[in-house]
Structure 1
């Protein structure tokens, strides 16, 4: 038997947050616990039926059973460009400024490979999506952490970044509406980011996966809708959250054509594109009437209000989110984020996500996802109330 030794880049990986949470959940379920899972952001609402019907029809077409286009079908990329024009008033060339992705996670994980050399710096928000630093690690880059603090609206303070880090930086990851804090960025912030990127030659990678989950009719801005954005970066988007298609694995990157080309070059060497039947169904998804999406948002808004009022009534400190389907909640005294999650699971059968799993600056918070019915959320609140 040979000795199997992992590569250093794998040895240095932290356990993937949601895999660890799933193990906690399975252990509790094996003991017969009725777990109310508010941890992972996986929508429980079904994919709209008209999208499913389009998929069924597309699967029957044998032309889709062969290798797909690496960049994505031009009809899919045109649908993305049309959606951006209608939603954000942003013009995109579908041939050079739109790229299909196997979910936005895949593109986010791969983009450092296109632009980061060993020793280069990537500006990474904390708390933030764990794939930002992991993709940087795989490329041999150095993550410089940008703390997201509540007293600054969970926006990074660019003025606090050392000059030498800015000069070595190749990429900056941003994410608004934000996971996990649910913060929304104003136009002025994006303008500041664009000016910084232009000055130091930094590519901005804006993760906009939650732009369509918003409340009280306050629609979030697109980074690409700000003047100069396309000169310095791209935006990642996903159909997962907007259309409840997490398992379908399809998204897109849009923006600066040279950045899109670089990411596309990585992808042509590592994957063979998205199944064309999924792309066909996604064209129909992108044409969905906003009344359907408004109905989905209304469901989340009812859940948001129920959980927010419930947790606030218990005495937990929490901000009411304007977007995403997450509530970023301070843990009570006597706990850190990990022990509080374990305590709630063991004693109340309610599962959240420890803030520290999103980076060191997430410590002191727990994230709850609005991926259960109002009835189950009410039950979760009552269980937490009894326990605390």
Structure 2
């Protein structure tokens, strides 16, 4: 008799089980009566602006908004996305051929390898890296070649260390600056070197710029598409989730090389019907506000204040961590107590024990790749008071071990 499994082996390749483990740890801690301070998932805790919420609610009440979005052109949102790219980065884009609207940037990241590659192809990925990067390759049957991102190299990949043979075989290289989970930033000179290398070997550059509006201390993260001619060799993901507190709305876009953008659009035309029209209307308002309302602070302003509060509080508790230059995350090397033990603790062990004893949730660095071991990622998604409390609990935990 045939043995039925009803579960693809491919699912085991989709990413680390750490996130499921952390969820189980959190549930157990909550059931034990602990007050949970969740600094794990990078989900904004603030709502969109009042104007965005108003636009969404008004559009949702319209009777003509409930057809499949694909029956409309979807061009107004793409036109405003192009306008915003010009306003923010001085990048000229054709909204018809060089932008595709997405159900959040993760939607596009999950499907891009299917649209660009064939099974057996290879692609270059960062390690540590956002888990969907590797998962998307697993779904498409594409082999990842990992590029270590290490502190001694300012968390930049060593492009020259990648053999020419790999460059010649690679379909695309994917990078993410400002980076999740590391919070590193890159400048235009790095992107210029990257584009020269990629063009020489015919490799598409895929840049995930989800945290473009979350630079600190005056940092304005650049777009790779700012470089003249970059659209011939690169595409870039943008998300309204973090920049405009619209994570639950699921809207973003891919911009750049028209062949790659067109390939993703063609694939997605066979998968879904697009973004709900009221969400697109709300996205248009968010982009217009960013272009016209000079008094509207960028998302990064809030997280910069939280960063300062939390980093100072942690240091007072005896854990000195590197100050991030962008994003909503702190990439923290494990405290000295983890290394001073006879058997040093792993990022998984400290995360589990800290949650069990204090109720503070962080994500083990190994969830993002082997290069993440020795670190934890801490999301600044609570109020300053709660972050101070989290730091206090962490300090008690460190001193108690």
* TM-score bin (small chain): over 0.9
Where does structure 1 lack aligned partners over 5 or more consecutive residues? none
Q: Match for residue 155 of structure 1? A: 156
**Is the counterpart of residue 349 in structure 1 residue 355 in structure 2?**
no
- CA–CA distance in structure 1, aligned partners of residues 84 and 17 of structure 2: 33
| 1:364 pairs with one of 362, 368, 374 | 374
Q: Match for residue 231 of structure 1? A: 232
Q: Match for residue 60 of structure 1? A: 61
From the superposition, tell whether residues 70 and 63 of structure 1 become closer, same or farther in structure 2 (CA, over 3 Å): closer
Question: Please, what TM-score do these two structures have when normalized by structure 2?
Answer: 0.93
After superposition, give the CA deviation of every residue in 1:162-186 in whole Å (9 maximum; x if it has no partner).
2221111001111000001100001
Question: 2:130·2:180 contact (CA, 8 Å) conserved in 1?
Answer: yes
1:69 Cα deviation (Å)?
2.4
**Is the counterpart of residue 291 in structure 1 residue 295 in structure 2?**
yes
Q: Match for residue 302 of structure 1? A: 305
- CA–CA distance in structure 2, aligned partners of residues 71 and 36 of structure 1: 43
**Is the counterpart of residue 315 in structure 1 residue 318 in structure 2?**
yes
Q: What are the within-5 Å matches in structure 2 for residues 1-388 of structure 1? A: 3-15=4-16, 17-69=18-70, 73-288=74-289, 289-294=293-298, 296-332=299-335, 333=339, 334-388=344-398
Where does structure 2 lack aligned partners over 5 or more consecutive residues? none
Structure 1 stretches (4+) deviating beyond 4 angstroms?
none
1:72 Cα deviation (Å)?
6.1
After superposition, give the CA deviation of every residue in 1:239-275 in whole Å (9 maximum; x if it has no partner).
0001111110110000111110001111001111000
Mean Cα deviation higher: 107-116 or 7-16: 7-16
Question: Please, what TM-score do these two structures have when normalized by structure 1?
Answer: 0.96
Question: 1:58·1:280 contact (CA, 8 Å) conserved in 2?
Answer: yes
- CA–CA distance in structure 1, aligned partners of residues 71 and 177 of structure 2: 28
- CA–CA distance in structure 1, aligned partners of residues 72 and 130 of structure 2: 25
Question: 2:213·2:243 contact (CA, 8 Å) conserved in 1?
Answer: yes
- CA–CA distance in structure 1, aligned partners of residues 273 and 286 of structure 2: 22
1:316 Cα deviation (Å)?
2.7
**SS of the counterpart of 1:312?**
helix
From the superposition, tell whether residues 210 and 346 of structure 1 become closer, same or farther in structure 2 (CA, over 3 Å): same
1:233 Cα deviation (Å)?
1.4
After superposition, give the CA deviation of every residue in 1:262-317 in whole Å (9 maximum; x if it has no partner).
011110011110001100111001111243233x4332111100111122333334
From the superposition, tell whether residues 176 and 154 of structure 1 become closer, same or farther in structure 2 (CA, over 3 Å): same
1:70 Cα deviation (Å)?
7.6
- CA–CA distance in structure 1, aligned partners of residues 239 and 276 of structure 2: 15
**SS of the counterpart of 1:316?**
coil
Mean Cα deviation higher: 306-315 or 321-330: 306-315
Indicate the RMSD between aligned Cα atoms, in angstroms.
1.6
- CA–CA distance in structure 2, aligned partners of residues 70 and 230 of structure 1: 28
Mean Cα deviation higher: 217-226 or 310-319: 310-319
- CA–CA distance in structure 1, aligned partners of residues 371 and 359 of structure 2: 26
1:15 Cα deviation (Å)?
4.2
Q: How many residues align?
A: 387
**SS of the counterpart of 2:260?**
helix
